[in-house]
Structure 1
Amino acid sequence: MQLTIELDETLNRLTAEFKSSPEKVSQAIRRTMTKLSRFSERQVLRELSRRVSVSQALLKNLGRVKVTLEPPGRHGNNGYQVVIWVGLSAIPAHYLGNPRQTRSGVRVGRRFWQGAFLLQPVNSNHAMVFKRAPHWQHRKQISQRSGKVMWMGLPIEKQVLSIYEHAGDLLSALESHLLERFTTLLQQELNFAFNIEGG
């Protein structure tokens, strides 16, 4: 899911109003947009973390939030663009903490998956959380490790934490907040450019 904040009209109007000092305005706009992109990433990570009860560090490490600042001319845009991307893939349960098997399921941090169990796939170096599908049946399965035939309740499903339903609302809610922040930052940077930096 992606949100693109385009500010071409505002920036073009400002450049026209300060046409006697285009270089100062350009520098102020560049600094503003750089700060806005960093601010956007912090806000999206903080809010998504709060909504799904997952640490910001984990969301960042899994690459679920990416914010890029695209300069003028890229992809045909006239001005700067802040592109906010949120990955919607569910987070596998074993990333949420240290999974512990109990009699009735698997506990990972504060979350509990009733009826789940730990299983380490052949291509993984750690156990993952699985649960039998609602209409499972016993089936013969050849073990990839030992080559022996065994009976297993199949199919099984990897347990995950969905973030899909939170992402759309999150980006919609943040858009107006980010535009307000842009206005504040731009005022600060123009003040700095004309009254402090430029003398």
Structure 2
Amino acid sequence: MSETLRVEIDVDETFRILRQLNRKAMQNAWRRTLRKTHVWIKGQVAKAVSKNSKIPQKVLRSRIYFFLKSYDTGKVWLGLNAVEAERLGYPRQTRSGITAGRFRFQSAWVMKRAAPDGPVYRRAGKARLPYERVRYDWADAGESAFRSVAALAEQRLLTILKQEVNYEIQKAIGAR
């Protein structure tokens, strides 16, 4: 399910305004804009996925990374691998299996002797062995939420850029 989603934003208008500032101020404003947009994207994706799939936002935020490639390019990466059941909440044993957070996993168990707070397992076949770790697949919800937030990212980026350019202008004229 590893698909690259590319969002291209036309920023010629904003670069024209930024050229009036010195190069260092322009780079600082743009870098802060990229970082703040990343934080916004991270929060919005976590909020949207959590709303749809009931996965805690704390778990989702740790799977979103931002890489600043150069002064004008950033990259957001979202890990869509399945989430381990024990990360969804404290696993509690029930008659039918395990309940972790808001999720129920039938025929699952935790090896209490080996690791009381450890992974949740389920039989992989009909025999006693082998068994596998229980995971919750959230790739579809994550991808759709990421696409919806990516559609709004350009507008948010330009809003933050205006704020940062204003800050640099105010700093240049000595108001701050």
CA apart distance, 1:183: 1.2
Q: How many residues align?
A: 170
CA RMSD of aligned residues (A): 2.8
Conserved? CA contact 2:30–2:161, under 8 Å: yes
CA distance in 2, matches of 1:98, 1:20: 55
Shift of 1:179: 0.7
Paired residue for 1:103? 95
CA contact (8 A) 2:54 2:102 kept: no
TM-score normalised according to structure 1 size: 0.70
1:198 partner amino acid: A
Decide whether the 8 Å contact of 1:90 with 1:163 is kept in 2.
yes
Q: Which runs of 5+ in 1 are unaligned?
A: 73-79, 138-152
Rg larger in 1 or in 2? 1
User: What letter is aligned with 2:15?
Assistant: T
* Runs of 4+ deviating beyond 6 Å: none
Measured against aligned partners, the alpha-carbon deviations of 1:4-46 in whole angstroms (never above 9, x if no partner) come to: 5554x515x5434554434344443233223222222222333
Q: Which residue of 2 aligns with 1:140?
A: none
Work out whether residues 80 and 142 of structure 2, in 8 Å CA contact, stay in contact via their aligned partners in 1: yes
> Which position in structure 1 is the counterpart of 2:172?
198
Does 2:171 correspond to 1:179? no
The question of whether the paired residues in 2 share the 8 Å contact of 1:116 and 1:131 is answered with yes
Specify every segment of 5 or more residues in structure 2 that has no aligned partner in the other structure, as ranges.
none
Contact 1:120 1:128 in 2 (8 A): no
Aligned-residue offset at 1:114: 1.8
- The residue number in structure 2 matching 1:136 is 126
Offset at residue 85 of structure 1 (A): 0.9
* Kept in 2: contact 1:3–1:171 (CA 8 A): no
Task: Give CA-to-partner distance per residue, 1:53-89, whole Å, 9 cap, x none.
Answer: 22222334xx4111222223xxxxxxx2221111122
Distance 1:18 1:121, change over 3 A: same
Tell me the distance in 1 between the aligned counterparts of 2:27 and 2:122: 56
Normalising by structure 2, what TM-score? 0.77
The alignment partner of 2:76 has SS state of strand
Alpha carbons of 1:19 and 1:118: their partners in 2 closer, same or farther (altered >3 Å)? closer
Query: What is the percentage of aligned positions where both structures have the same residue?
Result: 26
3-state SS, counterpart of residue 59 of structure 1: helix
Instruction: Select the structure that is richer in strand.
Output: 1
1:52 aligns with 2:42: no
* Residues in 2 aligned to 1:121 and 1:66: alpha-carbon distance in whole angstroms: 35
Alignment of 1:31-180 (within 5 A): 31-60=32-61, 63-72=62-71, 80-119=72-111, 126-133=117-124, 135-137=125-127, 153-180=128-155
| 31-40 or 174-183: bigger deviation | 31-40
Inter-partner Cα distance in structure 2 for 1:121 and 1:165:
35
Q: Secondary structure, in 3 states, of the residue corresponding to 1:198?
A: helix
